């Protein structure tokens, strides 16, 4: 079976991705098999740039067919922040409850009680030296009045999804059916499982 490296250092992301790729005719491997590779600096201005850079970096370091994604939360009343800085918002060592507090403080300072918001996931598939496929998923919602739920990860407790009437931290398994990451990886799956791609690879 051909091998696909899912290149992420984020274990919660990896858990979601492993389920989304479950049953695919690829042998899924992770960065645990390459413990000596340092994570690249994420210096891109956009999710797409960062996803491409991560996929190319890990593909060239490992020689593997590699998928990487760059994702984050965009809050409209905060000009799209934290955006590509989502993982590092408020400082890399800040806990999520501290990040939530900073966001509620910034919203109050801007005069907004809440704000429309979205999660974005940019995905790139690469082999050494070449991007083979790119896609993007987004999910629209708004910032919850207060954090709720203990499922999911990251900003899920403050992301209220109107069709479910709940935050993404309150919906457990239903999250990937609608999420930015769910959309992007379903699209990747269609691509890598297509006879055309499996034939030329
Ligand atoms: P890799 O780059 O190694 O994949 P990372 O966590 O640094 O891991 P990103 O740079 O893409 O990944 O940052 C993604 C951040 O965006 C993540 O750490 C969360 O803060 C936020 N985020 C992305 N998707 C999310 C989701 O489904 N639920 C909650 N927060 C999410």
Is the C-beta atom of 66 inside 6 A of ligand 1? no
Write the CATH number for 169.
Answer: 3.90.950.10
Q: Pocket of ligand 1, candidates 71, 94, 96: which has the most ligand atoms within 8 Å of its Cβ, to mutate?
A: 71
What is the whole-number distance in angstroms between the Cα of residue 48 and the centre of ligand 1? 14
CB-based burial of residue 178 (10 Å sphere; 0-12 exposed, 13-18 middle, 19+ buried)? middle
**Rounded distance, CA 199 to CA 201, Å?**
6
On the question of pLDDT at 16 being above 70, the answer is: yes
Kindly report the three-state secondary structure assignment for every residue of 55-123. Answer: HHHHHHHHCCCEEEEEEEEEEHHHCCCEHHHHHHCCCCCCCHHHHHHHHHHHHHHCCCCCCEEEEEEEE
Mean pLDDT across 14-30? 97
Is the C-beta atom of 13 inside 6 A of ligand 1? yes
Within 10 Å of residue 18's Cβ, how many Cβ atoms?
Answer: 12
Residue range 92-137, pLDDT digits in tens: 899 999 999 999 999 999 999 899 999 999 999 999 999 999 999 9
**Rounded distance, CA 184 to CA 68, Å?**
11
Provide the domain limits for residue 109: 2-198
- Set 33, 48, 70, 76: catalytic member: 70
H/E run at residue 51: helix 47-62
76 is catalytic: no
Is the C-beta atom of 10 inside 6 A of ligand 1? yes
On the question of pLDDT at 80 being above 90, the answer is: yes
Instruction: Quote the pTM value.
Output: 0.97
**Rounded distance, CA 66 to CA 68, Å?**
7
On the question of pLDDT at 1 being above 90, the answer is: no
How many domains are contained in the chain?
A: 1
Mean pLDDT across 4-26? 97
HSE at residue 16, side-chain half, CA atoms within 13 A, is 26
Mean pLDDT across 146-154? 97
Q: What pLDDT is stored for residue 113 in this prediction?
A: 85
**Mean pLDDT across the chain, nearest whole number?**
96
Whether the CB-CB separation of 139 and 71 falls below 8 Å is answered with no
Whether the CB-CB separation of 142 and 116 falls below 8 Å is answered with yes
On the question of pLDDT at 56 being above 70, the answer is: yes
On the question of pLDDT at 200 being above 80, the answer is: no
The C-alpha R_g of the chain, in whole angstroms, comes to: 17
């Amino acid at each position: 079976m051909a091998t696909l490296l899912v290149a992420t250092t984020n274990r919660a992301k990896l858990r979601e991705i492993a389920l989304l790729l479950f049953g695919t005719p690829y042998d899924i491997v992770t960065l645990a098999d390459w413990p000596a590779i340092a994570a690249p600096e994420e210096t891109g201005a956009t999710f797409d740039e960062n996803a491409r850079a991560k996929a190319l970096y890990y593909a060239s370091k490992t020689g593997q067919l590699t998928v990487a994604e760059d994702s984050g939360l965009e809050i409209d009343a905060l000009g799209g922040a934290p955006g590509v800085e989502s993982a590092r918002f408020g400082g890399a060592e800040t806990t999520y409850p501290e990040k939530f507090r900073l966001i509620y403080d910034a919203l109050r300072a801007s005069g907004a009680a809440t704000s429309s918001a979205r999660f974005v996931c940019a995905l790139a598939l690469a082999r050494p030296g070449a991007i083979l496929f790119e896609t993007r998923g987004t999910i629209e919602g708004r910032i919850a009045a207060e954090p709720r739920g203990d499922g999911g990860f990251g900003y899920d407790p403050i992301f209220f999804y109107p069709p479910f009437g709940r935050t993404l931290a309150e919906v457990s398994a239903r999250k990937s059916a609608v999420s930015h990451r769910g959309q992007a990886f379903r699209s990747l799956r269609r691509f890598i499982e297509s006879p055309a791609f499996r034939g030329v690879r």
